[in-house]
Amino acid sequence: MHDSHAESEARKYALIAAARDGDKAAVEQLLVIFQPDARRIAYTECASSADAEDAVQESLLLMYRRIGTLRAVASFSTWMYSIIRNECRKLVRRMRGQGQSAGLGTVILDYHSTPELHSDLAAAIQSLPDKYRDAILLRDFHEHSIIEIAEQTRISRAAAKSRVHRGREMIREYLIDYGE
């Protein structure tokens, strides 16, 4: 049974890689396979079932359009979760009359006033290895708890905490090195 699970995971990774590389049939198949997961996530993240359905449709469309931007095949689930969660948040903001926010990254970038620092911070985050970038994005941009990060990335809480800490240290080092 363990071998069949490993084979199933390998097939999923191959499908994600093919979709990321532009195979339209793989993208469509991937969205069909992950639609139940997308729906489950949306129902836990959105305020209502109607919002959840809207979020699923918008998220699937975004995933279809942006699959080529996925950096690491292994981070697909985290990437999908982030898209769905953002869609749910957009719907909540619209309900409250706040309209569209500036989007991903405003949580951390709002604390800094200079455009130069915004671009330096974005470059620092982009320079991180995938595992640290994913942890930083989940923690500092999407405001997930360490427990949520550990669950989504399928690592221990200690490892999640370590990745966030190390990612922040790497960002500090980058800003110090390139800020001089």
Q: Could you list the pLDDT tens digit for every one of the 180 residues in the chain?
A: 556 878 888 899 999 999 999 999 999 999 999 999 999 988 888 878 888 899 999 999 989 988 988 888 888 988 898 889 888 888 877 766 544 333 334 444 444 445 666 677 878 888 888 899 899 988 887 888 889 899 989 999 999 999 999 999 988 888 877 654
DSSP string covering the chain, please? -HHHHHHHHHHHHHHHHHHHTT-HHHHHHHHHHHHHHHHHHHHHHSSSHHHHHHHHHHHHHHHHHHGGG---GGGHHHHHHHHHHHHHHHHHHHHTT------TTHHHHTT---HHHHHHHHHHHHHS-HHHHHHHIIIIIS---HHHHHHHHT--HHHHHHHHHHHHHHHHHHHHHHH-
Taking only Cα atoms into account, the Rg of the chain, rounded to an integer number of angstroms, comes to 17
Q: Give the pLDDT score at 47.
A: 77
Check residue 116 and give its pLDDT.
Answer: 66
- Sketch out the chain's domains with CATH numbers: 1-100 (1.10.1740.10), 102-180 (1.10.10.10)
pLDDT at 93: 72
Q: What's the confidence (pLDDT) of residue 38?
A: 92
pTM of the predicted model over 0.85: no
pLDDT for residue 114: 58
